[in-house]
């Protein structure tokens, strides 16, 4: 099973292929490799998607997934869920995701 991630911004649509590393619910682990989702494979695919220009779509997907997971797993603390869904995003990747300049290239 595979899917693509269409651009949320309309014209200039970019589609990024995604593998079958989708989350299970309500556990929020990868259905392929059983690691906490997004697993390393999906993180790499999201990074590719961000660099292809659909970072805002990745951000929306992660935010909605985090919200859904907080409803599915009230037994897991918010800090742990935040770390699972967003902890792999460093400042440079975040800047690219939201369409800004990479943090390492920002000058004062
Ligand atoms: Zn996986």
Tens digits of residue pLDDT in 37-68: 999 999 999 999 999 989 999 999 999 999 99
Residues around ion ligand 1, judged by CB within 5 A, are: 21, 30, 32-33, 39, 41
- Span from the CA of 38 to the centroid of ligand 1 (angstroms): 7
When pLDDT is cut at 50, 70 and 90, the band that residue 36 belongs to is: very high
Would the pLDDT of 103 be above 60? Answer: no
Residue partners of 60: CB distance under 8 A and separation at least 6: 8
- Span from the CA of 66 to the centroid of ligand 1 (angstroms): 17
- Span from the CA of 11 to the centroid of ligand 1 (angstroms): 31
Provide the residue ranges of all domains of the chain, joining segments of one domain with +.
38-108
**Percent of the chain clearing pLDDT 90 (strictly above):** 70
In Å, what is the CA distance from 65 to each residue of 12, 49, 54, 57, 60? Answer: 25, 17, 17, 12, 8
pTM: 0.79
């Amino acid at each position: 099973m595979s899917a693509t991630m269409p651009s949320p911004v309309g014209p200039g649509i970019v589609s990024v292929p995604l593998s079958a590393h989708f989350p299970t619910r309500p556990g929020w682990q990868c259905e392929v490799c059983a690691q906490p989702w997004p697993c390393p494979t999906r993180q790499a695919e999201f990074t590719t998607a961000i660099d292809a220009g659909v970072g805002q779509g990745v951000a929306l997907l992660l935010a909605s997934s985090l919200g859904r997971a907080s409803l599915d797993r009230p037994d897991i603390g918010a800090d742990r869920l935040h770390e699972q869904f967003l902890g792999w995003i460093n400042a440079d990747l975040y800047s690219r995701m939201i369409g800004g300049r990479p943090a390492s290239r920002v000058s004062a």
